[in-house]
Amino acid sequence: MVSAAIALAFLPLLVTLLLRYRHYVLLLYRAVLLRWLRDRLSGVPREQRAFQYVLAHAVPGDPRHVLLAFDQWGHRREHLSNLGPRKGRIVERLVQERAPRAVLELGTYCGYGTVLLALGLPPGARLYTVEADPQHAAVAEKVIRLAGFGEDTVELIVGPSEEVIPRLKEQHGLLRADFVLMDHWKRRYLRDLRLLETHDLLAPGATVLADNVIFPGAPHFLQYAKTCGRYRCKVHRTSLEYFRAIPDGIAELTYTGPR
């Protein structure tokens, strides 16, 4: 009786918390629980399922249609850690404004951000994208080529970023990047930014974008960017991909050179 009374006493609090954080609960369900269940039942990874959907619904050679198919999957089927349409508009606008010649992406995942970046490149520009997971890279390769971008425009490099960054100059010919998009593990943002500095891979005035700096967050990265004296920094406030009720943001850094 006592235990039941205690449980009933906490019930209103539990209901209040569930209502307040219902969007995060839904994210947990779609991104973790539903993925786990469908992975087990189908034997096919979520990323491959998403690609099969894109392959069936997108027009080959049409980058925007490929992105639209991904967005339809993310809204209607399962959550994917893509940029999504709202953040995508921010990134696309900045790429068009800066017209970069050499672009580096850290975290290819399924290729959504890669296609978005390549879509806005000026003629003759080159995009280097780095993915640590070979299975994700295999999906991304097919997505990039489905969208119509060849190896002369997009080079996909498979390997951990901490190993790839030091050899970008010698092995891949990237002398300096004037536009960087970080969308891999958030705890690696700061480490990889400092690696780019150490290996002199940032051109003066380079733009560095970092996704998900509010949720799940990258506090140490933001603190460094704001206090190290090498960057001008601002955060574009938006929402988590495919979850408008969850606040998120993209950090925009402008590299002003070594101190």
- The yes-or-no answer on residue 152 being catalytic is no
**Residue 189 CA neighbour count, 13 Å, CB half:** 28
State the Cα–Cα distance between residues 241 and 197, nearest whole angstrom: 29
Q: Which two tokens stand for residue 209?
A: 């974008």
* Candidate list 192, 211, 248, 252, residue with the active-site label: 211
Q: How far is CA 113 from the centre of its chain?
A: 6
Which position among 141, 212, 248, 252 bears the catalytic label? 212
CB 137 within 8 A of CB 160: no
Contact 212, 218 (CB under 8 A): yes
With left for phi above 0 and alpha for psi between -120 and 50, is residue 217 left, alpha or beta?
Answer: left
Please state whether 168 falls in left (phi above 0), alpha (psi between -120 and 50) or beta.
Answer: alpha
The type of residue at 57 is H
Question: Of the listed 71, 192, 241, 248, which one is catalytic?
Answer: 241
Q: Is 211 a catalytic residue?
A: yes
- Write down the catalytic residue from 87, 141, 186, 248: 186
- List 183, 192, 248, 252, catalytic entry: 183
State CA 112 to chain mean position distance.
8
Tokens 């940032």 locate to: 202
Angle at 12 between CA 6 and CA 18, to 5 degrees: 120
155 is catalytic: no
Whether the ω angle into residue 12 lies within 30 degrees of 0, i.e. cis, is no
Beta-carbon contacts of residue 7 (< 8 Å; ≥ 6 apart): none
d(CA 77, CA 133): 23
**211 DSSP assignment:** S
Q: Catalytic positions, please?
A: 183, 186, 211-212, 241
